[in-house]
Every structure is written in C-alpha cells, then in structure tokens.
Amino acid sequence: MRAPMIAGNWKMHGTLQEAADLAGGIRKQLEGLPEVEIVLCPPFPYLFRVREALEGSKIALGAQDCHWEPKGEYTGEVSPVMLRETGCRVVILGHSERRHIMGESNDQVNRKVRAALTHGLTPILCVGELLEERSMGVTQEVVDRQLSKGLAGLSAPEASGMVIAYEPVWAIGTGKTATPRQASEVHHFIRKQTSKMFGEATASNLRILYGGSVKPDNICDLMAEEDIDGALVGGASLEVHSFVKIARYRE
C-alpha cells in the first residue's frame, strides 16, 4: 500500500522567524499523525532553522531545488551534498516555475534527479502542462515527454525511490484546481507510462502527488481518487491551520 505524502512548498515566502513559527506550529498539530508522510520545503536560508524546529519529529525536511554537481564553480547553486548536511531528505525538482521562469530543460532536470538519488535524497519530480497545451489536447504528450526525459537512465530500484508530482501549470497559484477526474486521468496515465518504463511492480508502488491550488476544501475529493497518493501544497502550506487540515484529510 502506498503511504500518502503531503508536502509543503513554501517557495520564496516568509522571514526566518515566520519559518520557525510555521514549522513549530505544524509540528505541534501533526505530531504522531499516522500513515501520512509530511514534508516541509522552506527556502534555502531557513533550512537549518526549520530543521531545529522539527528535530526529533517524523516530519521530513525538504528543499525546493538542487544542482546536479556535488561541488564546483556554480555561483548561487546548492548541491545535493549540502542539502544532506542540512538534514534534508527530500528535494523538489523540475517545478514548473523553474522550468518556465528559470528556463530549466528536461535534461537538466534529469541530471538533478540522478544526482539527488546518488546522494540519498528522495526527488519529487514535477510534471505538468500549460493552459494552452491542455487546450490543444496535448497534455499526455507533454507529461510523457517530461517523464521519459526526466527519468531517463534510471533503473527500476532507483525509480522506486522517486515521487512524482502532477502539477498542471494553469492551476498553480491561480485558485483554479483540476477536477478530481482531470487529475485522476493524468495520474493514471503517469502510472501506465512508468509501468512501461520500469515494470508494473515499481509503478504500482510509485507515489504520485497532485499539486495546483490544493486547499482544505478540495483535498478529500482529490484523495478519493485511486491514483492520487498525496499533495504538493503551495499557498495553503504557508498557514498552519490550512496545512494541518489538508494533512488530516482523513479525519
């Protein structure tokens, strides 16, 4: 059985004290929550402070990106080795904001995925289509390309350590959410394609999260779908009450 994951992507928000308070508040209300893996991904400068706030809990610390090299002349970048030393266990890779604003290619995302796995981090690989791509009816083609190139060169055991997040770009930060049926269709497609790549056993155990304006009032409907195994939460992860309600969707 696939254990659900609820991950909070804080993006470029908050102060150091706000990050500490947010992590502490989430920890207090989600301490001991059974059968749901919780991940918090603060901005890079706040990783150590959030780590302190989570110390001794089962809540995992995650990062929002990493470089593919362990060290080198890459001004402004952060390596997977550095992330491990901060206590990170998870890293978000290929987020649409990095693809479409920072210009990251599928090849770069693939190099990051392989580097994260090499250094013991669990990658959350983000895939998803633009609004015009959905309007053109090419959602599956876009997602298939991002998957096949993002996971290129991985073995089945390596793929089994992955998490995939389907995030339709048109639903990120817009207040629009893919309907449960729309999300489920793409999640099912992702599972089918990964089965072709790595085998049915690996694909059936692969966790596929939904991201895109996830809120307390839509999480239950999303999680009721068979192929949705959790959520990558943006704006709603910046407030203790809303994130806790999402994480406690079963109650």
Confidence at residue 175, expressed as pLDDT on a 0 to 100 scale: 77
Confidence at residue 166, expressed as pLDDT on a 0 to 100 scale: 97
Whether the pLDDT of residue 5 is over 80: the answer is yes
Place of tokens 């049926």: 181
pTM value?
0.97
Question: Region 74-98: what's the mean pLDDT?
Answer: 98
Report the domain count for the chain: 1
Confidence at residue 20, expressed as pLDDT on a 0 to 100 scale: 98
pLDDT band at 31 (very low <50, low <70, confident <90, very high): confident
The mean pLDDT value of the chain amounts to: 96
Whether the pLDDT of residue 1 is over 80: the answer is no
Confidence at residue 108, expressed as pLDDT on a 0 to 100 scale: 98
Question: Region 59-85: what's the mean pLDDT?
Answer: 98
Confidence at residue 74, expressed as pLDDT on a 0 to 100 scale: 98
Question: Region 181-210: what's the mean pLDDT?
Answer: 97
pLDDT tens, 147-185?
A: 999 999 999 999 999 999 999 998 877 777 789 999 999
* ∠ Cα 47 50 51 (to 5°): 80
pLDDT tens, 130-139?
A: 989 999 999 9
pLDDT band at 113 (very low <50, low <70, confident <90, very high): very high
Residues 6+ apart with CB under 8 A from 217: none
What own/partner pairs with CB < 8 Å and gap ≥ 24 does 80-87 have?
Answer: 80/115, 80/116, 80/118, 80/119, 80/121, 81/119, 83/47, 83/119, 83/121, 84/119, 84/120, 84/121, 86/47, 86/48, 86/51, 86/61, 87/47, 87/48, 87/51, 87/61
Whether the pLDDT of residue 125 is over 90: the answer is yes
* Higher per-residue pLDDT: 170 or 5: 5
Confidence at residue 182, expressed as pLDDT on a 0 to 100 scale: 94
Residues annotated as part of the active site: 95, 167
In the chain, what is the straight-line distance between the N-terminal and C-terminal CA atoms, in Å?
Answer: 19
What CATH number is associated with residue 146?
3.20.20.70
- Residue 26's domain spans which residues? 5-247
Could you give the percent of the chain with pLDDT greater than 70? 100
CA distance 65 to 90: 10
126 exposure class (CB count in 10 Å sphere: 0-12, 13-18, 19+): buried
